[in-house]
Amino acid sequence: MGALSACGIAGTRDTGWKSGFDWDSWWRRQERQGTLDFANWPLYIDRTKDGSPTLNDFSRKYGVTVNYRPVIQDNASFFAQISPVLAAEQPIGYDLVVISNGWELTQMIENHWLVPLDHSRLPNFERYAGAASRAPAYDPKNEFTVTWQSGITGIGYDPEKTGREITSLKDLYDPAFAGRVGMMSDNTELGSTGMLVQGIEPVSSGPAEWRQAAEVLRKQRDDGIVRQYYDQGYIKALQQGDTIISMAWSGDVFQAQVSGNSNLKFVVPEEGGMIWHDNCMIPYRAAHPVDAIEWMDYSYRPEIQAQISDWVNYVSPVPDAKPIIADQLDDPTVADSPLVFPSEAITKQLHDYYDFKSVGDHEEWTSIFDPIIQS
């Protein structure tokens, strides 16, 4: 969601590396250590009974022991765990972490808590990264991040229970679905969708537009339309029929479809959807930065990314993985999915999130949307 112009969390200013540090010389002094401590989200890498084939291949090729930990449940709680350690100028115990674009990531950039990447060590990223993964607004030069996977926030629904196809965000407000609608408990997602339904562009919005969105969301809640504000558990509620229509992430619905729950559908509504990116980054004072950046580059090989994208089913950062999934992995369902390889038409429907300009800016957003969720 873009880099902040504020100095960051109170009390953490200048606790990271200092401006003017010679990172080129620093990278030249770094060597592979044979260990990679990797923190990621659950179910976010290819898996078999023997672990992750891509991680296993990387370990054999580079002689690196990978300690992979699916410990990130959401950005806020993970950031709350690591930020005091980073503020104290201590290593967090991970060489590589995956965090979404948003407030937490921009704080890490502003507070100098991330290692600037040596792009000479990222030839596969330079060659194969798709357009959506290059020069994002929150990191315009990919100075600190490369995309792990991306996703679309839209609508998931069961057409057998809704009784009709869903095409609009207005369907989330329809009294016909009262008590059966799922909304997200993430205030960034909720507020952004509240603006889209009114034709407001989130990225160029301000407090007046936020309050306008909050009024509509509050009425939706007070009218009994919303069953619950969900974290990632929304997909289970949708599958079980507790909800029949819900704000949803593209990959979750696609995974449900390919696992046998074929009733569920995902749609980018006519008002548009939100596009987000989960990003690989190296925390300041990481013990094994070369091992981390070698994995980052390795994951951008089309044959490696094909294995990952074929398993996780989110938007792939490497378009050249598509023919490999179709032909070598013989999985046309994934290769042909617009939720893994979106068409240009879908891409044009997607909106970026608002870039918070200061700590106070973020606090105002939170004060507007959190009471809706918490009540």
> What are the sequence ranges of the domains in the chain?
23-150+276-341, 153-274+354-374
Helices (H) and strands (E) in the chain, counts: 16, 10
In terms of Cα–Cα distance, which of 75, 81, 82, 98 is closest to 16? 82
3-state secondary structure of 129: coil
Whole-number Å distance between alpha carbons of 276 and 356: 15
In terms of Cα–Cα distance, which of 1, 204, 190, 14 is closest to 106? 1
pLDDT for 142 equals 97
Note the pLDDT tens digit of each residue in 318-334.
Answer: 999 999 999 999 999 99
Q: Under a CB-based contact definition with an 8 Å cutoff, are residues 94 and 278 in contact?
A: no
> What 8-state DSSP symbol labels residue 124?
H
The residues, ordered by sequence, that sit 6+ positions from 5 with a Cβ below 8 Å of its Cβ are: 357, 358
User: CA torsion, points 104, 105, 109, 111, in degrees to nearest 10?
Assistant: 10
Which residue type occupies 316? S
Q: Under a CB-based contact definition with an 8 Å cutoff, are residues 300 and 122 in contact?
A: yes
Whole-number Å distance between alpha carbons of 363 and 46: 37
Whole-number Å distance between alpha carbons of 141 and 135: 5
Compute the 3-state secondary structure of the chain and give helix, strand, coil in percent, each to the nearest 5: 40, 15, 40
pLDDT for 277 equals 95
Q: Residue ranges of the chain with pLDDT lower than 50? A: 1-12
Q: What number does CATH give the domain 153-274+354-374?
A: 3.40.190.10
Note the pLDDT tens digit of each residue in 175-187.
Answer: 999 999 999 999 9
Whole-number Å distance between alpha carbons of 153 and 272: 9
Whole-number Å distance between alpha carbons of 100 and 151: 10
Residue with tokens 């696609």: 254
Query: How many other CB atoms sit within 10 Å of the CB of residue 156?
Result: 27
23-150+276-341 under CATH 3.40.190.170, yes or no: no
How many Cα atoms within 13 Å fall on the side-chain side of residue 41?
Answer: 18
Please check whether the two domains, 23-150+276-341 and 153-274+354-374, share a CATH topology: yes
